[in-house]
Amino acid sequence: MAGIEVTALHKRYPDGTVAVEHVDLSIADGELFVMLGPSGCGKTTTLRAIAGLERQTTGDIRIGPTLVNDLPPAERDIAMVFQFYALYPHLRTRDNLAFPLRAEGLPKAEVRDRVEEAARLMRLEPLLNRRPRQLSGGEQQRVALARALVRRPRAFLMDEPLTNLDAELRADMRTEIKHLQGQLGTTMVYVTHDQVEAMSLGHRIAILNKGRVEQIGTPLEVYNRPASLFCAAFIGSPPMNLIEVEVADGELRGQGGLALTPPPGLPRDRRLVAGVRPEALEVAEPGAERSVPARVVSAEWLGDEVIYVVDHGGQRDVRVRMPSTVRFDADAKVGLRHTGVAPAVYDVSTEELVA
Ligand SMILES: Nc1ncnc2c1ncn2[C@@H]1O[C@H](COP(=O)(O)OP(=O)(O)OP(=O)(O)O)[C@@H](O)[C@H]1O
Ligand SMILES: [Mg+2]
């Protein structure tokens, strides 16, 4: 097993597209590290460079102590699972799993043992004699994961391996992958553009934007303290409300007078925006203590909770997450108040977190 170091990675494709501008990653041995970001931000390119399937323009990649820049994929001792994983269509599951091991020239008994272990871990025992076309999409994906497992590589690289599965199966497989990674303790780099997947899987998450790393942190850090306005708008569903604020007499107020708990170290003389999570706001009866007047624009019922969109202080899209026991109808006049801890505060001009 091994950690992975990516230093000043830059990738420009022959047609001139810069897919990765500058990426530094320091992934610990045994870590489940998630790369998250919108389509086209350079996730796959970074992963393929780590795997050796794509040569970076500049920058270094180390796997364990080894500088692997000039090593072909086969010599990097890593296994990669893609969104569309090509299983050999004419081979039964058993042989699809055994294939990479036989190619390595492992003894028969060892091949059998490893195939059985991987099949057990991925619960594929009943499917060992089937060919890919006799398997559902989820089952094929499990075979693909098992085929990566049997090799016992130093690290796993996964590029959106669950994208083609339905929601329920995805959630199951997510749990499976997390559990497996914990059991095996093998370093894993997992690429996704699904933030729920990133949050639930990752020990740490790197948020990429336009070929650069915007933030690296634990799911909690990334959720509570997004490092930039980009991260603030990207993480959370719905994401943070971005509310222009002013500091006066030690108080932090949004337009329309909404009082927010001020974080320490607020800078002066700068235009500021507070990132306020929908669950840190509350819709109450009009005139309720510490509330400011607002109007419900719409209410979206999600079963156990409700997302209110309210109009307040000239901002028509303030989102509030509440338990669905609280009921206000569209157009109701209400009071809006902040109940959470101090919000993250950003400098409007630099778009960076300042307090
Ligand atoms: N072979 C290539 N030649 C030229 N440009 C490419 C090539 N492969 C990718 N790109 C471009 O590089 C950028 C990054 O692509 P990449 O596939 O790394 O993004 P991604 O983050 O994986 O996106 P997605 O979430 O859609 O998979 C994109 O603008 C893409 O169009
Ligand atoms: Mg991709």
Q: Which ligand is nearest to the CA of 159?
A: 2
**For ligand 1, atom 29: residue with the closest CA:** 40
Q: In ligand 1, which atom is closest to the CA atom of 42?
A: 18
84 lines ligand 1 (CB under 6 A): no
Q: Crossing angle for the helix pair 137-150 and 108-121, nearest 10 degrees?
A: 130
Cis upstream peptide for 238 (omega within 30°): yes
Q: Is there an atom of ligand 1 within 6 Å of 211 CB?
A: no
Binding site membership of 40 for ligand 1 (Cβ less than 6 Å): yes
Compute the distance from residue 19 Cα to the ligand 1 centre, in Å. 6
Q: Give the Cα separation of 262 and 252 in Å (integer).
A: 5
Q: What is the mean pLDDT of each run of 10 residues along the chain (355 residues)?
A: 95 98 98 97 97 97 97 93 82 95 93 93 93 91 90 93 84 89 94 94 98 98 97 95 91 91 91 96 95 96 95 92 91 95 96 96
Q: Report the candidate in 171, 180, 187 with the shortest Cα–Cα distance to residue 138.
A: 171
Nearest residue (CA) to ligand 1, atom 22: 44
As a CATH number, domain 4-232 is 3.40.50.300
pTM of the full structure = 0.92
Domain boundary assignment for the chain? 4-232, 240-347
What pLDDT shows up at residue 165? 81
CA of 192 to the centre of ligand 2 (A): 8
How remote is the CA of residue 174 from the centroid of ligand 2, in Å? 18
pLDDT at residue 85, rounded to an integer: 67
Q: Is 19 in the pocket of ligand 1 (CB under 6 A)?
A: yes
The span from the CA of 57 to the CA of 348, in Å, is 34
Q: Which of 13, 48, 159, 164 to mutate to test the pocket of ligand 1 (most atoms within 8 A of CB)?
A: 13
Query: 240-347 is classed in which CATH architecture?
Result: Beta Barrel (2.40)
The residue written with tokens 């994929």 in the block is 73
Tell me how far apart the alpha carbons of residues 12 and 180 are, in angstroms, rounded to a whole number. Answer: 35
| CB 131, CB 95: distance < 8 Å | no
Whether 240 and 280 have beta carbons less than 8 Å apart is answered as no
Q: Give the integer Cα–Cα distance in Å for 84 and 132.
A: 13
- Separation of CA 336 and ligand 1 centre (Å): 43
Distance 343 CA to ligand 2 centre (A): 32
Please name the helix (run of DSSP H) or strand (run of DSSP E) that holds residue 67, with its range, or none: strand 66-67
At 269 the pLDDT is 87
- List, in sequence order, every residue forming a beta bridge with 113; answer none if it has no partner: none
Q: Is the minimum distance from the CB of 17 to ligand 1 under 6 angstroms?
A: yes
Taking CA atoms, 102 is separated from 19, 88, 97, 106, 150, in Å, by: 36, 14, 9, 6, 11
Stated length of the chain: 355
